[in-house]
Amino acid sequence: MTRAVFLASCVIPFVLAAAPASAQDLQTRTVPPPPPATTPSTSDDQVQFNATTLEYDNKADLVTATGDVRMYRAGNRLRADTVVWDRKTGKVHASGNVAVVNPGGDTAYGDSIDLTDALKDGMVDNMLLVLEKGGRLAARKGTRSLDESVVLDDAAYTPCGVTDSDNCPKEPSWKITAVRVIYRPDRKRIYYKGARINLFGLPTLPLPAFSNSIGDGNDNGLLAPDLRYSRTNGFEFAQPYHFALGPNQGLTVTPRIFSAVLPMLKAEYSALNTLGAYRIAGYVTASPRSTDLLTPTPAGTPNSFRGYLDGVAKFQLSPDWTLSGSLRLTTDPTFLRRYDISTDDRLRSTVKLEHIDKSSYFSVAGWYVQTLRVGDRQALQPIALPQIDYRKRIPDSLLGGVFTFQVNSLGIERPAGQDTQRAFASAQWELRKLTPWGQEVTFTALGRGDIYHTSDILATTVASYRGESGVSGRILGAFAVDVKWPFIGSFLGGTQRLTPRVQVVASPQAGTTMVPNEDSRSVDLEDTNLFSLNRFPGYDRFEDSARVTYGLDWSVDLPGFSFTTNVGQSYRLNSRPTLFPDGTGLSGRVSDIVGRTELRFHDWVSVIHRYRLDQGDLAVRRNELDATVGSRSTYLLVGYLRLNRNIDQTLEDLRDREELRVGSRVQISRFWSVFGSTVIDLTNRDEDPLSLADGFDPVRHRLGVQYEDDCLKLGVTWKRDYQTTGDVKAGNGFLLTLAFKNLGR
């Protein structure tokens, strides 16, 4: 494109508009700001001049400079075509492509300016003020005082870009126009009188008295409002206000007003200190609720107090010591869903003290679980306090291997359920060697001793989870040899790697059913645990058998393309009864076949498939797919999971299910996009007899359209929930998003 055509493409839209020039011209001026002085002055009273010509009028004591005039004093810089300096009065008049820069980096442009020789105060016609912290102000007239505050008449402010991708002038997405604007650099704040927000060039919201901060400081002020509609609560309007309690702490108070129920108040306090940061938020309201979550809340149900606490904190007490915690508590199971705060079905409050150095780890932790699930009893939820864990790693020990020692204890209390206390100590030795033929051989030896104390075991309905009442103990041991033999070579202009792998594990019988099962319940054979020393999760169950595990990894790496797949299976060498429930893929002597395949093409395609095949008839027991296709602006996400394991329905942690998740976003223009997502429960009675789904049961979906550029986000989202739970009604909801980026507070 030639320069003439480029300029024409920028100018034609303005010519066609045939609009008169505005005094609030926010466009960048052609004159560059004055550069810093090449030889800084040695005194604040010294004035430096640079110009093509200088004329002196001795009688009037006037100095006239013309031709790219530059004037410097005490960090203030001026540039103009012509400058007339009256040395008697100290007045300076500059005209023609005027630009003035203060010590803070703010640059003022104008047609002409009258100021003192201190270059700090003066009056500018047709002023444009470009702020160092971002944003710009334009006005018919501007006046700057000695304290560098600026008063502008008939002014406009915007933090938005004023040129497009082709560097052509464009109208900012939004701006604030006002009768008068006062800019206070000392407070990093702009004050307006008679203001109005203009969106896409159209006047919208009046702001009779308004101010906003610039930069990244902490200040008082309004934040972006929130407008939405739901069938349960009706129309909702939320207007947060931030109180700056200091440079490192603040409080945000958000009243939420509903058309169908009483208002709700949210308060959020956050702070940062030399040790770390913390935040706590609270919600409080009153509305009808029902204790029976399986049926809708009856009409006429009285209002009840409802609320929610959400907090998080982390403190670095020293280079090695860290204290962290979280708090999540609500008054009832449906509060979070009803007010669209969260869809979590369990809330966990935690606290943890950790010490980490290069060879050891120590922690003391505890957590409390609040269930929000239909049918769950809160009195049966665990309270774990304390959990103590210590690990010590000693490299280059026996035969050059690595020793890892661990001591762990855990206490679990339930108000109306089984209580368990556990402690164990273990030592593990691991040695990794490379043979002359390229095999990688890893030797592992493990020894562990456990002791348990259990009470109220009959409160646990699943017999295999109970263990024996009172004190019990066990000794565990295992020895394993793991051999990998990678073959690497060229393939289609890239490289490929083929790695057969064999592992042999021997472990004596330990009578593990004597102890309770608190943390090893969700067991399932997967590609991630196929070669684990213990394929049970957690510590309460241990795989006490001799077995051989075999598998194959294959990967291909080409320019912009990668493909990885693995498959494996195991065979138990003894015939004694196993601890694994039927359906987990590990209950028979020959395990199911598991694998994982991953394909990536640049940043456009990512497909991950995980599966488990029945070792008898090759039926698909697990089928999981996660795929992403597209760019960051336009993409499709697909997630599918089907668990068809035929597991005993009394094991609530291992129920079968089928689910489809789809999400997409399409960039239809540079700033406009449409998006949507849905979750569908495909579970039927054949997969889970306890499920209420009918094989195609939508859970929720959303569909929206959004505009977003460098300083504005505007969108509308339609949401629909298909499930009624207590006082949370199924139905439609709408969310209006309007965020003025870079507006500050």
Strand, helix or coil for residue 150 = strand
pLDDT of amino acid 317: 96
| Rounded mean pLDDT, 368-390 | 92
The pLDDT confidence band at residue 42, using thresholds 50, 70 and 90, is low
What single DSSP character describes residue 399?
Answer: G
In whole angstroms, give the CA distance from residue 430 to residue 428.
7
CB 427 within 8 A of CB 401: no
| Rounded mean pLDDT, 549-569 | 96
Residue where the block lists tokens 């489809």: 660
pLDDT of amino acid 368: 96
pLDDT of amino acid 16: 32
10, pLDDT greater than 60:
no
Task: Dump pLDDT digits (tens) for 229-240.
Answer: 998 899 999 999
| 181-195, 555-569, 579-593: least confident range | 181-195
The pLDDT confidence band at residue 551, using thresholds 50, 70 and 90, is very high
Decide which of 674 and 199 is more confident. Answer: 674
15, pLDDT greater than 60:
no
88, pLDDT greater than 60:
yes
Q: Mean pLDDT across the chain, nearest whole number?
A: 87
The pLDDT confidence band at residue 131, using thresholds 50, 70 and 90, is confident
**Residue 635 token pair:** 């993409």
Q: What residue type is 680 in one-letter code?
A: I
Torsion region of 460: left, alpha or beta (phi above 0 gives left; psi -120 to 50 gives alpha)? beta
Q: How far apart are the first and last CA of the chain?
A: 43
Torsion region of 445: left, alpha or beta (phi above 0 gives left; psi -120 to 50 gives alpha)? beta
pLDDT of amino acid 43: 63
| Rounded mean pLDDT, 450-460 | 94
Task: Dump pLDDT digits (tens) for 231-278.
Answer: 889 999 999 988 989 889 999 999 999 999 999 999 999 999 999 999
| Rounded mean pLDDT, 648-677 | 88
| 41-50, 506-515, 580-589: least confident range | 41-50
| 408-422, 494-508, 518-532, 689-703: least confident range | 689-703
For 638-647, the CB contacts below 8 A with 24+ separation are 638/662, 642/682, 642/687, 643/687, 644/619, 644/620, 644/687, 645/524, 645/583, 645/584, 645/585, 645/621, 646/582, 646/583, 647/581, 647/582, 647/583, 647/584
In whole angstroms, give the CA distance from residue 483 to residue 532.
13
To the question of pTM greater than 0.85 for the whole model, the response is no
349, pLDDT greater than 80:
yes
pLDDT of amino acid 125: 84
Which domains, from first to last, does the chain contain? 48-215 (2.60.450.10)
Which H or E run contains 6?
Answer: helix 3-17
Decide which of 218 and 336 is more confident. Answer: 336
Q: Which among 396, 268, 383, 287 is positioned nearest to 335, based on CA atoms?
A: 287
| Rounded mean pLDDT, 350-367 | 96
Which H or E run contains 9?
Answer: helix 3-17
Decide which of 87 and 704 is more confident. Answer: 704
pLDDT of amino acid 688: 62
Decide which of 396 and 60 is more confident. Answer: 396
The pLDDT confidence band at residue 652, using thresholds 50, 70 and 90, is low
pLDDT of amino acid 13: 36
| Rounded mean pLDDT, 503-527 | 89
488, pLDDT greater than 90:
yes
pLDDT of amino acid 656: 85
CB 638 within 8 A of CB 626: yes
642, pLDDT greater than 70:
yes
Task: Dump pLDDT digits (tens) for 610-619.
Answer: 999 999 999 9
pLDDT of amino acid 186: 82
Number of H helices, E strands in the chain: 2, 41
Task: Dump pLDDT digits (tens) for 151-197.
Answer: 999 999 988 888 877 778 888 888 888 999 999 888 888 888 988 88
Task: Dump pLDDT digits (tens) for 676-686.
Answer: 999 999 987 66
Other Cβ atoms within 10 Å of 505 Cβ, number: 25
In whole angstroms, give the CA distance from residue 261 to residue 243.
27
